[in-house]
Amino acid sequence: MSPSTFFSFLFTLSLIIISSYAAPPPHAAPPPQKKYEVVCRGDAHCLKVLGSDPRIVAATEWVPLCSYILEMGANYGVKAQTYVKGLYSKYPSSEALKLCVNEDYTYSINSFRSSLGELIEDPMTANYDAKVAGDGPGMCQSALAREKLVIPAINAFNDGIKFFSNVAFEATNYLY
């Protein structure tokens, strides 16, 4: 091999080696998702709601993430209960409002809190309690329907509690 051919070969080889390091691999892995993004599975509403809590965004472990979601759910249930208590005080003859306040929302709030207490010792029970926290709004809606009461704010609260129940259930699935 002549010296000029050898140097051409060496030059070409060095360009190939340099370009292979400079270019990203053709199938580069996407950046890892945050835990809450995994739970939301791309749902814009879920990402917005959970993304509003900096603790949730920063969570790198499943137990703290579940804890923060369950706290949000319980707090939202308390907010719904407080709102409906105000309505019930204006309309004390409504059995539906009475059930929503005294039984259905209490059931949901207690289920969120029970799930919170089981995260480490009994993740399967925590998962179950997270799921049944969504039953309270359904019972409340049924009571309202029996009285033919349509109150959009209560419907929205019920949807919110169901949302937190579903998201907490999804998150607690990763504990076991």
pLDDT at 77: 98
Rounded to 10 degrees, the C-alpha dihedral 59/81/102/112 comes to -10
pLDDT at 20: 60
Q: What angle do CA 134, 136, 138 make, to 5 degrees?
A: 80
Mean pLDDT within 133-142 = 98
Give the residue extent of every domain in the chain.
62-175
Question: Which CATH code is given to the segment(s) 62-175?
Answer: 1.20.140.40
pLDDT at 31: 74
Predicted confidence (pLDDT) at residue 139 exceeds the cutoff of 90: yes
Predicted confidence (pLDDT) at residue 22 exceeds the cutoff of 60: no
